[in-house]
Chains A and B, each alone.
Chain A
């Protein structure tokens, strides 16, 4: 493998690895966001049922 190829390979590995890490962290944040959204929406729905306008 040439020096340039090796460097390209290393950079590509880094990009893929960091992409995966970003994806995992993103999944955690999305999970939390979904939970909060679920309870917020359920609460809003209940609120409308109790106090219809």
Chain B
């Protein structure tokens, strides 16, 4: 206030300032609401877009795939052993393709689960800080290898070596494909399992050590049971990845649509059939619709894997300080 200003001037100026303050505060509340509302609507739009895209894909998949059942009996489609889509008359039995997918997934899981979980246990229990850093980086590097590169490796190295060493008719078979798929699934299993092991409360482990348990006893009776939900989820997600993988099975599984009688037989898993045949299937024809129907089967199998993973995660969820 300058000395020349009267008391009335001071009151007026303070009233005017108060009025501005009210107006400013009203404006700032509106601005705040807009600022808060905008991100909310943005995220809602993003989530809705994802859901909408997924719904449209599913509608498209089911619309194109279910059309085959107007021409082919579902029983002969799912349980027929002959897959000759280009013959006259064509045969659309996908049992051999389902068996091919299941056999490759199961055998790759047999290889990947011990290696993946073992590596996770090593990283969380045994490895020192420096070794852990390097091994983790190596496992992450393994995850970043493109599937076509691994397929190439399987085709050029593993298949010929297997054919030579085991004296089998072809190296492109279930075992080769499973080994390459296992290499792909290991990083998924390792990283999720390691997170689960890390999430087990340290108090439990310290209590176990305090009671005189050895490191192995603590690991096998406290750490692993505590992380079982996460490890189960990791295994199922690894299997899901192996089931849906296309490039590796297209390159290494051999491509023979037959029900295998041994592990050294060639198979043609479902993703390989879709990838190999979609380009040559006439648009809107029976073959085209049959390939979409295979896509539905693949989608349902992967969905079941994910539901099982969710169930395991919830069923064995640890109640306590922390959980995955």
Complex contact B135–A25 (CB within 8 A): yes
A33 and B289 CA atoms in complex are apart in Å by: 43
> Provided the pairs A35-B145, A35-B153, A38-B157 are in contact, do residues A24 and B216 lie with their beta carbons within 8 angstroms?
no
Q: Is residue B311 within 8 Å, beta carbon to beta carbon, of the partner chain?
A: no
Complex contact A22–B153 (CB within 8 A): no
> Provided the pairs A28-B115, A29-B135 are in contact, do residues A21 and B217 lie with their beta carbons within 8 angstroms?
no
Write the residues of chain A forming the contact surface with B, with a CB cutoff of 8 angstroms.
Answer: 10-11, 13-14, 17-18, 20-25, 27-29, 31-33, 35-36, 38-39
**Nearest residue, chain B, Cβ from A25:** B122
Known: A23-B118, A24-B122, A32-B142. 15 other contacts (CB 8 A): A10-B216, A11-B214, A14-B216, A18-B126, A25-B118, A25-B122, A28-B115, A28-B116, A28-B138, A28-B142, A31-B183, A32-B141, A33-B138, A35-B145, A39-B149
- Interface 0/1 of B101-144, CB less than 8 Å to A: 00000000000001110110111011100000001001101100
Chain B facing A: main interface SS = helix
Contacts of A35 on B, CB cut-off 8 Å? 142, 145, 150, 153, 183
A18 and B157 CA atoms in complex are apart in Å by: 31
Contacts of B215 on A, CB cut-off 8 Å? 14, 18
Contacts of B190 on A, CB cut-off 8 Å? 28
Complex contact B114–A24 (CB within 8 A): yes
**Nearest residue, chain A, Cβ from B213:** A10
Complex contact B122–A32 (CB within 8 A): no
Complex contact B214–A21 (CB within 8 A): no
**Nearest residue, chain A, Cβ from B149:** A39
Q: Which of B164-219 contact A (CB under 8 A)?
A: 183, 186, 190, 214-217, 219
A51 and B188 CA atoms in complex are apart in Å by: 40
Contacts of A18 on B, CB cut-off 8 Å? 126, 215-216
A-B contacts, 23 of them at CB < 8 A, read A10-B214, A10-B217, A14-B215, A14-B216, A18-B126, A21-B121, A21-B125, A21-B126, A22-B122, A24-B114, A24-B118, A24-B122, A25-B127, A27-B115, A28-B116, A28-B118, A28-B190, A29-B135, A32-B138, A32-B139, A32-B141, A35-B150, A36-B141
Contacts of B220 on A, CB cut-off 8 Å? 17
Write the residues of chain B forming the contact surface with A, with a CB cutoff of 8 angstroms.
Answer: 114-116, 118-119, 121-123, 125-127, 135, 138-139, 141-142, 145, 149-150, 153, 157, 183, 186, 190, 214-217, 219-220
Complex contact A25–B214 (CB within 8 A): no
A24 to chain B, nearest CB (A): 3
A29 to chain B, nearest CB (A): 6
A21 to chain B, nearest CB (A): 5
Chain A facing B: main interface SS = helix
Q: Which of B115, B118, B126, B127: most chain A CB closer than 10 A?
A: B118
Contacts of B114 on A, CB cut-off 8 Å? 24
B211 to chain A, nearest CB (A): 14
Contacts of A21 on B, CB cut-off 8 Å? 118, 121-122, 125-126
A27 and B111 CA atoms in complex are apart in Å by: 11
Contacts of B135 on A, CB cut-off 8 Å? 25, 28-29
A18 to chain B, nearest CB (A): 6
**Nearest residue, chain B, Cβ from A15:** B216
A13 and B214 CA atoms in complex are apart in Å by: 10
